[in-house]
Amino acid sequence: MMNKYAIAIHGGAGTILKSSMTPEKEKAYLDGLKNAIESGELILKNGGTSIDAVEKAIRSLEDNPLFNAGKGAVFSNAGKNEMDASIMNGEDLSAGAVAGISNVKNPISLAKGIMQKSEHVFLAGNGAIEFAKLIGSEFEEDAYFFEQMRFDQLQQAKQSDGVFLDHTTDKFENGEKKFGTVGAVALDIHGNLAAGTSTGGMTNKKFGRVGDSPIIGAGTFANNETCAISCTGHGEFFIRSVVAHDISCLMEYKGLSLKEACDFVVMDKLVKIGGEGGLIAIDKYGNIEMPFNSEGMYRAKKSEDGALFIKIYKD
């Protein structure tokens, strides 16, 4: 009998309301999530590794301009795309991360390259670009990353001098905010867990701001003994709470189940400090949790014995 495999992905959390979504846009998001999770699942179904499945699913989301990562990355205050990503292997706790990079087509693949081809975990800025060239990462011109919607968001943000954790809202009224990050977690038939996260960060961010997405233990974590986690939300709070590692610790040291640990961290601990967002999590048995304390979270999950589940809003 084949061992169990399972995968879950997210495309960001935040104030995602059905009332502000057109049927066409909703379908485009659902299709984007479906394509991404199926590309990852195909690898798992064929006996591939959780690391490869996570990378493949995230690459699919990075290539989709609807999501704030890769091609759809938002603009910083300087009018640049500054992207962050990280990936972690639950089998041996190896990890790779990258921050503040531009023109790399798939930051998640660079993070994987750092994990597998360097003795380091975390590279940033120009040095990361140098390493990317060394290992043959795919690069794209600025024009590839230019999305009019993202550029318009920057102009609006500059007018009010706000920093937006934005995803897709055309208007910034009513304090609407979306945390544009993409991520994936997976369990392969060999029993190995993996997690990855990628983001374009915040619209109008300054000073080389970096959120939780590339930080191992905050935005991404995987350990075969416990779980694999990818977060999306107000990065500053997720960093302070070391969210991804916290969930693993609650399972390892307190014996909590995946669901108990996730609910406690996302619905209680984060809420108390004002940290909005959510995460996707998977344990070594293939159980999947996708808690969020915001209005919505683009999310999907699939296991070898289950139907495809894709949702945007709260139930």
Q: What is the DSSP secondary structure assignment for residue 231, as one 8-state letter?
A: E
> From the candidates 168, 181, 197, 199, which is the catalytic residue?
181
C-beta separation of 56 from 70 below 8 A = no
Q: Which two tokens stand for residue 289?
A: 């949790």
Concatenated DSSP letters for 13-66?
EE---GGG--HHHHHHHHHHHHHHHHHHHHHHHTT--HHHHHHHHHHHHHTSTT
Please state whether beta strands 193-199 and 83-89 pair in parallel, antiparallel, or not at all (unpaired).
antiparallel
Buried/exposed code over 197-230 (b: 16+ C-beta within 10 A; e: otherwise): bbbbbbbbbeeebbbbbbbbbbbbbbbbebbbbb
Distance CA 122, CA 85 (A): 10
| Residues facing residue 301 across a β-bridge | 8, 309
- Is 181 annotated in the active site? yes
Q: Are strands 296-303 and 309-313 parallel, antiparallel or unpaired?
A: antiparallel
Residues tagged active-site: 181
